[in-house]
């Protein structure tokens, strides 16, 4: 089985728009600002055979604020920078009660099945409580990137870090 590195999108691979202390995704691919400091570390994971999967909630589609095409354009642009094996994007809102929306682990479970990933040997890196809870619910070790957003914080996580790059450095050390 493969090891997996599950990454949230906004706030992990690209910068969020912060409004009132809360994070929001870029409006379109032109507004996208990649966080580039982790590019070389992610390549090390790919070289070692890890599967890299982006797990992202994009409820603005369900809310009528943006389109699936717009979200997919942003995803495609992100993929042009990073060695990503798969994107799992949930377009639902909380009221839709779908299994793919974090904090539920549905997208991680589907990805694990599709890419033959051992979830207990895998990691999830996210910047919001729903990310961390989804990783925990799937059996992954979790890294919380703490940007001090003005919102609910995760109750449990394995590591608290300041960036994806810091999380990747720790994972590389743990895996030696």
pTM: 0.96
- Tokens 């996208």 belong to 32
d(CA 71, CA 80): 14
What is the percentage of the chain residues whose pLDDT exceeds 90? Answer: 94
- What sign has the CA pseudo-torsion 161, 165, 60, 147? positive
Containing domain of residue 22, as a range? 4-174
Compute φ and ψ for 61, nearest 5 degrees: -65, -50
What is the CATH number for 155? 3.40.50.1000
pLDDT at 15 over 90: yes
The structural domain count of the chain equals 1
**Separation of alpha carbons 145 and 125, rounded Å:** 7
Q: If we measure between CA atoms, which residue out of 109, 113, 116 comes closest to residue 90?
A: 109
């Amino acid at each position: 089985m493969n090891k997996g590195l599950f990454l949230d999108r906004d706030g992990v691979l690209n910068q969020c728009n912060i409004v009132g202390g809360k994070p929001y995704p870029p409006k379109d691919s032109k507004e996208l600002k990649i966080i580039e400091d982790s590019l070389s570390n992610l390549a090390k994971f790919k070289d070692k055979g890890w599967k890299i999967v982006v797990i992202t909630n994009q409820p603005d589609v369900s809310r009528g604020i943006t389109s699936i095409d717009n979200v997919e354009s942003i995803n495609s642009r992100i993929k042009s920078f990073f060695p990503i094996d798969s994107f799992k994007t949930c377009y639902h809102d909380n009221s839709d009660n779908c299994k793919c929306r974090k904090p539920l682990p549905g997208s991680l479970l589907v990805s694990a099945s599709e890419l033959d990933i051992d979830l207990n040997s895998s990691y999830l890196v996210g910047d919001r409580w729903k990310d961390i809870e989804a990783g925990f619910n799937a059996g992954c070790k979790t890294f919380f990137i703490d940007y001090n957003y003005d919102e609910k914080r995760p109750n449990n996580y394995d590591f608290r870090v300041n960036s994806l790059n810091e999380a990747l450095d720790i994972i590389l050390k743990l895996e030696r």
